[in-house]
C-alpha cells in the first residue's frame, strides 16, 4: 500500500488536483488532465529546440534536423492531446483492473521521466534517440489502455 500512496502522491505533484481513476465520473477528466500536462511538458521541450535553432544560423543541416525533431514532438503532442477522451473503452467501470491502473500510473510517471531526460541535451543524435524513446513510451501507454 505505501508504494501506491507514493505513486499517487507523485502524480498529484505533477497534475494538481489529481485524484486518481477511482471514481467513474472523474476518470476521464483526470486522464485528460494528465495528458494535457504531458502536452505542456512536450511544449517546453519543443520551445527548447526552437531556441537551439537560433544557435546555428549558418548551419542549414542542423537547423533542418532540429525542425524535423520539432515536427516529431508536435505530432506526438497532437497524438496525446487528441487521443480518445479518457479511453472510453478502457475506463468503462466493468473493465477497470487495479493492477492495470497501477501500471498506467507507473507508466505515466515514466513518460515524464523520459521527457526530463531530454532537457539540456544539445547533441542532435542523442536528441533524436531520446525523442524516439518518448514516442515509443507513449505507444506503450496506448497498449496498456487497450489491453
Q: What is the CA radius of gyration of the chain?
A: 17
> Is 90 exceeded by the pLDDT of residue 16?
no
* Among the ranges given (62-66, 103-107, 138-142), the one the predictor scored with the smallest mean pLDDT: 103-107
Q: Where are the domains of the chain?
A: 25-146
pTM over 0.95: no
Check if the beta carbon of residue 63 is closer than 8 Å to that of residue 51.
Answer: no
**Smallest Cα–Cα separation from 78: which of 31, 138, 2?**
138
Kindly state the greatest CA–CA separation across the chain: 58
Give me the helices (H) in 15-123, please: 24-53, 60-81, 88-91, 98-116
Residue 121, pLDDT > 80, answer yes
Predicted confidence (pLDDT) at residue 1 exceeds the cutoff of 50 = no
pLDDT tens-digit readout, 102-114: 777 788 888 889 9
Residue 46 pLDDT greater than 60, yes or no: yes
Amino acid at each position: 500500500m505505501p508504494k501506491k500512496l507514493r505513486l499517487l502522491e507523485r502524480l498529484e505533484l505533477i497534475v494538481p488536483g489529481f485524484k486518481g481513476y477511482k471514481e467513474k465520473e472523474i476518470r476521464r477528466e483526470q486522464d485528460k488532465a494528465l495528458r494535457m500536462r504531458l502536452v505542456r511538458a512536450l511544449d517546453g521541450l519543443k520551445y527548447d529546440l526552437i531556441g537551439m535553432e537560433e544557435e546555428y544560423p549558418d548551419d542549414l543541416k542542423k537547423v533542418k534536423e532540429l525542425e524535423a525533431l520539432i515536427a516529431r514532438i508536435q505530432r506526438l503532442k497532437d497524438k496525446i492531446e487528441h487521443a480518445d477522451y479518457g479511453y472510453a473503452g478502457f475506463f468503462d467501470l466493468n473493465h477497470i483492473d487495479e493492477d492495470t491502473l497501477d501500471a498506467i500510473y507507473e507508466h505515466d510517471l515514466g513518460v515524464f521521466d523520459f521527457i526530463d531526460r531530454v532537457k539540456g541535451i544539445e547533441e542532435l543524435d542523442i536528441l533524436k534517440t531520446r525523442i524516439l524513446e518518448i514516442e515509443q513510451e507513449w505507444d506503450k501507454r496506448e497498449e496498456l489502455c487497450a489491453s
